[in-house]
Every structure is written in structure tokens, then in C-alpha cells.
Amino acid sequence: MNTTASLPLPQPRTKVEAIERSPGFWSGVLAKLMRDPVALGAGAVLLALIVMAIFANQLLPADPYATSMFKRLKPIGFEGYPLGADELGRDMLSRLMLGTRLSLFMGITPVLIAFVIGSAIGILAGYAGGLVNTLIMRTIDILYAFPSVLLAIALSGALGAGIGNALLSLTIVFIPQIARVAESVTTQVRGRDYVEAARASGAGPFTIVRVHVLGNVLGPIFVFATSLIAVSMILASGLSFLGLGVRPPEPEWGLMLNTLRTAIYSQPLVAALPGVMIFITSISFNLLSDSLRSAMDVKS
């Protein structure tokens, strides 16, 4: 009698594939975002701005640096100047378009760098606990004791004007905020059973952080970081508005707002345009971040 015939056979291959095909967390988040009209709208605006920033050189209708004594401060719709001309007779539309590049760069870069450094610091403090945690977090508390606008202006004021110094100051402003969130999330995850189980099974601290902690803390930290981009955009342009960031003649929305400030009585609509761009960008980032937060179900 052949007994092997009655033994259970291995499961057919198709079933295994079905398990592998179950949607992951991120595709679920993406699907939720695609069903959210607000997120789609904000995302489309930001995508358009990013495309404009990348292909600015191909898209520009006129030379954004060409000045003209006779075309100074022309209104919106002036012949050859669809959005008017600035105080040196340069084409506003071209300058606003090229300005997307520096403005987005100055707004997003500090948050990105702070996300990497702040997460590392926060996860280290949260996972290590004890004395290391106390030392790191009390130092962070000191930077946290400054209102962010004041800290940014103090640092870039002391370091001096320039793009690099403005980026450095803004990064220092955001690191403590991100590190705080990273620390509190990591401290929560560290106490979970699966981390305890991993430790009991002999996993080293690096393995635990890489396999069990990172995947569970990066999501909430990322959501928090996206909510900072709008703040960062406003602050970065604000530094340029004060004359502490980008230097003329480079087009940047905050700097353009500053140089056009004297024109608010003669050409108010033209003078207000760069601010409209900052407003649109920051509101899109805020709306997208809010949608992301609810799609990922992260509590604020």
C-alpha cells in the first residue's frame, strides 16, 4: 500500500502568490490619497510648480534678468509683459517662474536635512533611553526654548546673509522639532512586545532598530516633517524678504516681495504677486500634509 499518496501535498503555487499580492501599507495610503479631492488638487498644484522649477529655462517667455529703464513698474497685461514689469523693468512672469526654483529649494531642503538628522538624533535618544536620552533631549530643549522665527533670524543674522547660511539656520530650527517627535514615537515603539521578543531572540540593537523600529517610526515622523514644509517655505522667503537669504538679482519670491515693497502705492497688484505664489505653495503643502496625516491615520 502506498502511504505517501494520502499525505497532504504542498500548497499550490497560486495561493502563495495571492498572499504576496496583498496590498502594503503605502499602497493603501496612496489609494486613500487618490480618492481625496483636496489631496489631488494640492498635489497637482505642487507637481505643476515642481515641473516649472525643473524646466524653467525651457518655459520662460522672456529673459528674467533683462532690465529696461523705460519699462519699469508696468501693470499686469502691459504689452509684452503678461504679469507686468518690476522696479527694474524685468518681466514679472519670467521672474516668478524662475523664482519657483530657488523658493522651493530654500523651503524644502532644510526640512529634508532636518528630517534625516532629527530622526537619527530622536531615534538614538528614544532607543538608548536613560542618560543618553536625558543628555540629548535636554540639549534639544534649549533650542526648543526659542520661537522658531526668532531662532532662524538670530542664526542667519549672526552668520550673515546668503543662501547657505539661511539653509543652515532653517535646518537648525527644524532639527529639534523633528527630534522631539522622533524621540517620543521611538520611546513608544521600544516598549512594544515585538521589540522585547526580538531582543530575547538575540537580535543586536542595530538589527532591532533597522528591522523593527525604523519601519514603525518613520511614517509618523515623515508626516510631521511634511507639515513643516509650509512653515519652512514661509520662513525661507521671510529671511529673503528681510535681506538675509537669497541676494539680488536672483529671483526668489521673498526677495522680490522685498524689492517691490516700495511699489505698493504705484503698482499694488504687481507688488503683491510674489506673495500670492508663496501663499499658494504653502497652502498646497499644508493641505497635502493634512490629507497624508488622515490617510496614514497618524494622530496629531
Partner 1 sequence: MIFYLLRRIVYTIPIMIGVAFFCFLLVHISPGDPLVSILPPDASIELQKQLMKLYGFDRPWFEQFATWFWRALHGDLGTSIASGRPVAAEVMRAVGNTLMLACMATLIGFLFGGLFGFVAGYFRDSWVDRIASALSVLGVSVPHYWLGMVLVIIFSSWLMWLPATGAGPGGSGEWAWDWAHIQFMLLPAITMSVIPMGIIARTVRALVADILAQEFVVGLRAKGLTDLGIFMHVVKNAAPTALAVMGLQLGYLLGGSILVETVFSWPGTGLLLNSAIFQRDLPLLQGTILVLATFFVVLNLLVDVLQTTLDPRIQRS
The cell for 203 is 537580535
Is 139 a binding residue for partner 1 by CB under 8 A? The answer is: yes
Cα(137)–Cα(122) distance, rounded to whole angstroms?
A: 8
DSSP bridge pairs for 61: none
C-beta closer to partner 1: residue 204 or 268? 268
User: Does 246 sit near partner 1 (CB under 8 A)?
Assistant: no
CA 63/CA 85 separation, integer angstroms: 12
Residue with cell 517662474: 97
Nearest-approach distance from CB 297 to partner 1, in angstroms: 16
For the CB of residue 75, give the shortest distance to partner 1 in the complex, in Å: 14
User: Is the Cβ of residue 222 or residue 279 nearer to partner 1 in the bound state?
Assistant: 279
Smaller CB separation from partner 1, 209 or 236: 236
How many residues of this chain interact with partner 1, rule: CB under 8 A? 44
Which of these segments, 17-25, 56-64, 94-102, 242-250, binds partner 1 (CB under 8 A)?
Answer: 242-250
Q: What is the DSSP string of 98-149?
A: HHHHHHHHHHHHHHHHHHHHHHHHHHHHHHH-HHHHHHHHHHHHHHHTS-HH
Place of cell 517620543: 184
Nearest to 92 by CA among 110, 109, 115, 75: 75
Check residue 41 for interaction with partner 1 (CB under 8 A): no
Residue range at the interface with partner 1 (CB under 8 A); choices 24-32, 92-100, 114-122, 139-147: 139-147
Collapsed DSSP state (helix, strand, coil) of residue 277: helix
**Residue from 41, 75, 129, 275 in contact with partner 1 (CB under 8 A):** 275
Nearer to partner 1, 134 or 207 (CB): 134
Among 109, 222, 279, 293, indicate the residue that binds partner 1 (CB under 8 A): 279
Question: Can you tell me which residue has the cell 500670492?
Answer: 276
Residues 142-201 touching partner 1, rule: CB under 8 A, are 142-143, 145-150, 153-155, 157-160
